[in-house]
């Protein structure tokens, strides 16, 4: 469903990667690895449609999708480095706000349930500014449960997560792949998956 | 899993989302709201103190001072319009939302006006009393500001989006970029009050302000959307 052909990217004058090819079908998880600065984030941003590749194209269900293509925005959920939280809002308000930005109907019950899954039930009325890095990351990831999208693009989702958080992430990912979703994940950590097909892409 | 199809997001839900969120954020930091109004009140009040208490002189200067101060006060909060969302990653999520980006940006601009231009316009007749304006002059001043300040927010948003990637000096460049575009609004806004003082009626000036508002409502959110997307690439 997600196919990438001859993709190349550069940052400034430096070429990051070239001739990246892969095709993913329902239930596939692609783990992107590589040293710092190898272009993992850029690859994800190209797939999300934020950045224009230097060469090559991205196809979703056979249709070429460029930056900010509506088809891509309706089907992909991109969670980048920055958790996209507002310090002034509570964890609950932040999550509800992000979910509704993605067009998901997020009523109070569903939001509280998602916070519970990510072990944030006690922090739900705390402003995001007092949350720890790990808790901020969890709040940001909790929208995976509220926003239903076939394509997940996760940039270092395990950063700052403790063992329990990493386990929650792994089970959310397994459920997503079992349901026929696709995920592309830039990560340094090993993420053992109980479902789906794990594939690897190494960027130099 | 059934994926959502393209074109899911409507225009109005997009406007409503960002309007509601930005107003809520503004209400959480009330101090910033107060600072802008206070800035306006102080700048306006400095003039009678500086140029002396000559009633005819003050009355002649009134509309110009009240309008220039409004331009500066509106400029005060513009650099933050997109910069904070840009820094914390929200702007990226906003551009990837299924809602049309110009709709989301329109909501942000509306929130900016409701927290900057609108309170200034409401406060302005009170400050105009310092200058001896009275009766219909006060009404035309407030009406002109109500019609003109949304245009300031709309044009300002384009400037704020264009200067988004700049780390240092973005605020100063924004002022250089935007203030010349504010000139027509200033001329017709202040001119409306002068016309009423001269007894010729302010209909023409107010119509021009209204026309400028309509043109920028239609154009500015799209221009700002293009600039935001470029800044993120």
Model pLDDT, residue A107: 86
Q: Do B21 and A97 touch (CB under 8 A)?
A: yes
Residues A72/A152, Cβ–Cβ less than 8 Å: no
Structure tokens at A137: 């990351």
Q: What is the pLDDT of residues B192-228, one digit of tens each?
A: 999 999 889 889 999 999 999 999 999 999 999 999 9
- pLDDT band at residue A167 under the 50/70/90 scheme: very high
Q: What is the ipTM of this complex?
A: 0.93
Residue B114 has pLDDT above 90, yes or no: yes
Structure tokens at A118: 């990510």
User: Which candidate, A166, A113, A111, places its Cα nearest to that of A138?
Assistant: A166
Kindly tell me if the per-residue pLDDT of A27 is higher than 80: yes
pLDDT band with cut points at 50, 70 and 90 for residue A195: confident
Residue A142's pLDDT is 95
The total of structural domains in chain A comes to: 1
- pLDDT-based confidence at residue B8 (cuts at 50, 70, 90): low
In this complex, which of A52, A87, A93 lies closest to B233 when CB atoms are compared? A52
pLDDT at B7 over 80: no
Q: Which residue of A has its CA nearest to B91?
A: A84
Q: What would the pLDDT profile of B137-148 be if each residue is shown by its tens digit?
A: 999 999 999 999
Of A74, A82, A150, the CB nearest to B89: A82
What average pLDDT score do residues B76-105 get?
A: 93
Q: Rounded to the nearest 5°, which phi and psi values hold at A19?
A: 50, 45
Q: Using beta carbons and an 8 Å cutoff, which residues of A are at the interface with B?
A: 26, 48-52, 67-71, 73-76, 78, 80-89, 93, 97-98, 100-103, 148-151, 179-181
pLDDT at A196: 82
Torsion region of B225: left, alpha or beta (phi above 0 gives left; psi -120 to 50 gives alpha): alpha
Flag whether pLDDT at A11 surpasses 90. Answer: no
Residue among B200, B171, B206 at smallest CA distance from B185:
B206
Pairwise CA distance, residues A128 & A91, whole Å? 6
Of B1, B25, B229, the CB nearest to A180: B1
pLDDT at B42: 95
Q: What is the CATH number of the domain that holds A120?
A: 3.40.50.300
Contact A117, A73 (CB under 8 A): no
The domain of A156 spans: 2-202
Q: Across the interface, do B89 and A81 touch by the CB < 8 Å criterion?
A: yes
pLDDT at A50: 92
Question: Is the model's pLDDT at B168 over the cut of 80?
Answer: no
Interface test with chain B among A9, A26, A48, A73, by most B beta carbons within 10 Å: A73
Is residue A113's pLDDT more than 90? yes
């Amino acid at each position: 469903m997600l196919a990438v052909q001859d993709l190349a990217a550069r940052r400034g004058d430096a070429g990051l990667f070239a001739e990246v090819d892969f095709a993913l079908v329902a239930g596939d998880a692609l783990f992107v690895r590589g040293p710092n600065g190898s272009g993992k984030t850029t690859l994800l941003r190209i797939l999300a449609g934020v950045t224009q590749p230097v060469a090559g194209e991205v196809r979703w269900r056979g249709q070429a999708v460029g930056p900010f293509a509506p088809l891509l925005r309706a089907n992909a959920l991109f969670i980048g480095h920055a958790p996209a939280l507002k310090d002034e809002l509570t964890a609950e308000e932040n999550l509800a706000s992000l979910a509704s930005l993605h067009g998901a109907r997020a009523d109070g019950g569903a939001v509280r349930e998602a916070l519970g899954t990510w072990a944030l039930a006690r922090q739900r009325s705390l402003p995001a500014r007092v949350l720890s890095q790990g808790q901020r990351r969890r709040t940001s990831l909790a929208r995976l449960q509220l926003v239903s999208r076939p394509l997940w693009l996760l940039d270092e989702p395990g950063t700052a997560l403790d063992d329990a958080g990493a386990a929650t992430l792994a089970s959310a990912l397994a459920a997503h792949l079992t349901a026929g979703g696709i995920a592309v994940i830039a990560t340094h950590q090993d993420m053992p998956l109980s479902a789906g097909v794990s594939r690897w892409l190494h960027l130099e | 899993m059934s994926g959502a199809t393209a074109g899911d997001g409507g225009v109005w839900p997009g406007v409503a989302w960002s309007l509601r969120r930005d107003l809520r954020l503004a209400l959480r930091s009330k101090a910033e709201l107060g600072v802008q109004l206070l800035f306006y009140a102080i700048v306006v009040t400095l003039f009678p103190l500086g140029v002396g208490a000559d009633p005819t002189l003050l009355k002649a200067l009134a509309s110009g001072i009240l309008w220039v101060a409004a331009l500066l006060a509106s400029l005060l909060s513009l650099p933050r319009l997109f910069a904070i969302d840009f820094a914390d990653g929200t702007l990226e999520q906003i551009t990837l939302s299924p809602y049309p980006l110009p709709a989301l940006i329109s909501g942000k601009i509306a929130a900016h006006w409701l927290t900057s231009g609108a309170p200034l316009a409401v406060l302005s007749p009170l400050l105009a009393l310092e200058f001896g304006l009275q009766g219909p002059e006060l009404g035309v001043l407030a009406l002109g500001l109500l019609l003109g300040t949304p245009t300031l927010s709309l044009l300002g948003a384009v400037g704020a989006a264009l200067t988004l990637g700049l780390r240092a000096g973005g605020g100063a460049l924004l002022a250089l970029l935007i203030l010349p575009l504010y000139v027509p609004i200033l001329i017709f806004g202040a001119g409306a009050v002068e016309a009423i003082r001269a007894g010729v009626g302010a209909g023409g000036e107010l119509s021009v302000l209204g026309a400028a508002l309509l043109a920028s409502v239609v154009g500015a959110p799209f221009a700002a959307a293009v600039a935001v997307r470029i800044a993120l690439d």
